[in-house]
Amino acid sequence: MKKNMTQKRLFYILFTAIICSCAEQKAPLPNIVLIMGDDIGYSDIGAYGGEIETPNINRLADGGLKFTTFYNMAKCNPTRSTMLTGLYSGGEGAVHIGNLTKQAGYTNIMSGKEHFDSWVPEYCKAENVFDHSFYFWATTEYFLPPSGAFERPFYLEGKELSADEIEHEKSPMYKTDFITDYALKWLDETFQKEDPFFLYLPYHAAHYPLQARPEDIEKYRGKYLKGWDVLRQERFDRMEEMGVFPQGAKLSPPENNLNKSRGPFLEDYTDYYAWDSLSAEKKDSLDLEMAVFAAIIDRMDQNIGRVLKKLEDNGKLENTIIMYLNDNGSCPFYTNKIPNKEPGPADSYWSLRTNWAMLGNTPFRQHKQSGLEGGSHTPFIAFWPGKIAPNTITEQVGHVVDIAPTFLDLLNIQYPDSIQGHATLPLHGSSLLPVFMGEQRREPEFFISGMDKFRMFRSGDYKIVRMNGGEWELYNMATDPSELVNLAANMPEKVNELAMSYASSPVASGNDLP
């Protein structure tokens, strides 16, 4: 009897120890996928009111969380610099988010566009951070040009590739497709290991030049003949039904591109004109222009679908957090290097104009580079099965500067004290994880966006912004998120208060003093 009691006691102790051991085991770290679109307007994707077919991005939005107010830095290079380091500005001592995932034992993969401000250290470049990297700098064509060489070359883990060395599954080779080809190949390799992975996919879509596969263009041909005026109202109505812009937002009236720094200044590209004033021939040409732009986004979404399928087929999707955003608002600048060749094929080089960019940035004002909401406001979607509640929307404000602190929370690690022999620079943002979990986070003291002459500084409900280096304008974002009523003349004390705060911020120069 005593022997049986002893055996039972030993069994109980052993059983309890096993249970406690299992309870103490940490949950597996999530895989992380960060996807970025380029020069895409706030309302261009279907999940935020657009008519462009984006079923895969929509799937992420329906299964996750959508922000109604999320800021980028209004241009390619500052957005990437700030997002990947958590700094508005910095230098030696900046820490790339890939350094954080590497510290936590992740395999790092990058495929797509690299573009940084000059302050970003060399050790933050792709080949120094990622285990596998395929990238190009700033901008280059989608199709291989007739010359046989891309405008800017591609690099594979630091080694420059000739066009005929680029691996691609489908011919003719198309940039969005082969960017994804490399990512999927490396994911397959990663799946053979037990390590979690970080996949960074900064697509170039839908940055100029407007080039797309013919079958994608055909899907949209004729859909834009109703014109930007009608389409903009249709998008606004859908957005209102979906609840994807801040409460109280109104559709801003049409206006010209106010940017006086980015030429050439051709009225056909810079100025607003009513669609009904145009000839049938002009409407057809403009329909093609927007159809190609839509096709570029459609192809990006198709490739996001390839990534989702790869994750799903390999049982990885359930423990993967996926974030999607754009680097700035739609781009309205004339960059037509081959003006006599309409957009679409490999021998064309065309860009979008102000009126189509205005459609993309519905319901906001202005465009890329500007701190006004049309330039600095991006969709932001966070998808994490079983963790982030599906089909939810938040009006809490976020910014790309918050992504690095969010990574720290996801990885459950401490920010390093030093990097490459330099003391690390303190992060400027704060974690979005509480928002992901349905909680209220303490909003950062301020948000910054826009290029220097087009800077914005927001603190609480109020925001100052300037155009072309002019006087500060003031807007109450709680009551006027479309920035229709400039309060600067009536509230000079508030302007001065915010201007003084901005002058002591990480990006201000001596010219910014009030």
pLDDT digits 0-9 by tens, 162-196: 999 999 999 999 999 999 999 999 999 999 998 99
Three-state SS across 117-163? Answer: CCCCCHHHCHHHHCCEEEEEECCCCCECCCCCCCCCCEEECCEEECH
201 CB burial (10 A radius; 0-12, 13-18, 19+): buried
Which two tokens mark 311? 């994750």
Q: Looking at the chain, how many residues does it have?
A: 514
Q: Are 300 and 217 in contact (CB under 8 A)?
A: no
pLDDT band at 27 (very low <50, low <70, confident <90, very high): confident
Domain residue extents for the chain: 31-442
List, for residues 34-86, the tens digit of each pLDDT value: 999 999 999 999 999 999 999 999 999 999 999 999 999 999 999 999 999 99
- pLDDT given for residue 17 in this prediction: 41
Q: Which residues contact 411 (CB under 8 A, 6 or more apart)?
A: 29, 100, 101, 103, 104, 106
pTM: 0.94
Q: How do strand 380-383 and strand 65-67 relate by DSSP bridges?
A: antiparallel
Q: Are 67 and 323 in contact (CB under 8 A)?
A: no
Share of the chain above pLDDT 70, in %: 94
- pLDDT given for residue 490 in this prediction: 98
Average pLDDT value for residue range 138-154: 97
Least Cα distance to 448 among 425, 422, 470, 466 occurs for 466
CA dihedral 494, 497, 499, 504 (to 10 degrees): -160
- pLDDT given for residue 240 in this prediction: 97
Radius of gyration of the chain measured on its C-alpha atoms: 24
Which CATH code for domain 31-442?
Answer: 3.40.720.10
List, for residues 258-284, the tens digit of each pLDDT value: 999 999 999 999 999 999 999 999 999
Q: Are 100 and 477 in contact (CB under 8 A)?
A: no
Cα 185 from Cα 175, distance rounded (Å): 16
Cα 321 from Cα 457, distance rounded (Å): 30
Which two tokens mark 93? 């001592």
The answer to whether the peptide bond before residue 506 is cis (omega within 30 degrees of 0) is no
